[in-house]
Amino acid sequence: MSSVRIPPVLRDSTDGQRTVSASGATVAQILEDLFDRYPALRARVTEDGELSQFVNVYVNDRDVRYRDGLDTEVGPDDTVILLPAMAGGVR
């Protein structure tokens, strides 16, 4: 099982969990496994079956856009990080 970091703005879709485990050998499989359990995530992370342009996905520290996108391989010890743009500063 790989672990997936859930960013704060998406945690309302994962019952508040910060890290969840997911199984799969590619980013696509990992995400499908997540969406099965947390259906609300799908619309936040993907758009028409593609990764949303507002959410970056990293395997360990590498952006999958610069690897094989949804087909990027994920090993059992890898960490997948979902990272939407975060606007917040504080005025």
Partner 1 sequence: MTDQTIIPTAPQPIREVSVDDALRLAADGYRIIDVREPLEWNGGHIPGATLIPLGDVVERIEAAIPDRSTPLLVHCAAGARSGRAVARIQALGYTNAVSMRGTTGEWRRLGGAWEAPEPLLTPEQQRRYSRQLLIPEIGQKGQRRLLDAKVLIIGAGGLGSPAALYLAASGIGTIGLVDDDVVDESNLQRQVLHTADRVGVPKTESARMTLNALNPQTTIVEHRERLSGDNVERLIARYDVIIDGTDNFDTRYVLNDAAVKLRKPVVHGSIYRWDGQVTSFVPFAGPCYRCMYPTQPPEELAPSCAVAGVLGVLPGIVGLLQADEVFKLLLGVGETLAGRLLMFDAMTTTFDEVKVWRDPECPACGEHSPYLEAAAPAAQATVAAR
Minimum distance, C-beta of residue 82 to partner 1, in the bound complex (Å): 11
Minimum distance, C-beta of residue 86 to partner 1, in the bound complex (Å): 4
Residues 45-76 as b or e (16 or more Cβ within 10 Å = b): bbeeeebeeebbbbbeeeebeeeeebebebee
Q: Please give the residue ranges that form the binding site for partner 1 (CB under 8 A).
A: 5, 7-9, 18, 53-54, 56, 58, 61-63, 66, 81, 83-91
Minimum distance, C-beta of residue 68 to partner 1, in the bound complex (Å): 15
**Which lies closer to partner 1 via its Cβ, residue 36 or residue 43?**
43
Q: Contact, 13 vs 20, CB < 8 A?
A: no
Place of tokens 């990992």: 30
